[in-house]
Each structure stands twice: as C-alpha cells, then as structure tokens.
C-alpha cells in the first residue's frame, strides 16, 4: 500500500528526551525519519501557494497540481 502525505513543515521540531535534544523531522524528507537529517534544506525556499513532491535520491523538487 502506498499513500501520499502532505506536510508543510520546513524544519525540525526539537524535543527533549532524557534531557538531551532530539530533532524530529517535520518536513517528511528525512532519510532517517522520524529524525531530522538536514534534508529540510531542500524545501526551505518553496514558494507559498504551490505543492511539490520530491523524487529520487537527490530529492529533486517537482511541482504538482494538488
Ligand atoms: S525537518 Fe525533515 S529533514 Fe529536517
């Protein structure tokens, strides 16, 4: 089964686990999901009002109609 999920986060959410900071991915692009791996840099400059998907190992941005 496959599913498409729409996320609007452009950076991680910091949480504390046993007094240590952990950065949780909120953009959905991380290869180490649920943890942030820095891939959110790919979506940092997305223009507002448009929707994109990211493809391939280099996370190529493709605009979608929905
Ligand atoms: S928030 Fe998704 S990779 Fe950093």
pLDDT band, residue 65 (cuts 50/70/90): confident
User: How many Å lie between the centroid of ligand 1 and the Cα of residue 7?
Assistant: 11
**Ligand 1 nearest-atom number relative to CA 10:** 1
Find the mean pLDDT for residues 22-39.
Answer: 97
Rg (Cα) of the chain, in Å, rounded?
13
Residues 6+ apart with CB under 8 A from 40: 9, 10, 11, 12, 25, 26, 27, 29, 30
pLDDT digits (tens, 9 = 90+) for 38-57: 999 999 999 999 999 999 99
Residue spans per domain, the chain: 13-64
Q: Is the CB of 12 under 6 A from ligand 1?
A: yes
Q: Is the pLDDT of residue 61 over 80?
A: yes
pLDDT given for residue 47 in this prediction? 92
What percent of the chain is modeled with pLDDT above 90? 86
Q: Is the pLDDT of residue 22 over 90?
A: yes
């Amino acid at each position: 089964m496959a599913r498409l999920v729409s996320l609007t986060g452009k950076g991680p959410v910091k949480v504390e686990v046993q007094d240590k900071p952990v950065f949780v991915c909120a953009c959905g692009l991380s290869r180490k999901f649920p943890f942030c791996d820095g891939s959110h840099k790919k979506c940092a400059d997305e223009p507002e009002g448009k929707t994109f998907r990211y493809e391939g190992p280099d996370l190529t941005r493709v605009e979608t109609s929905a």
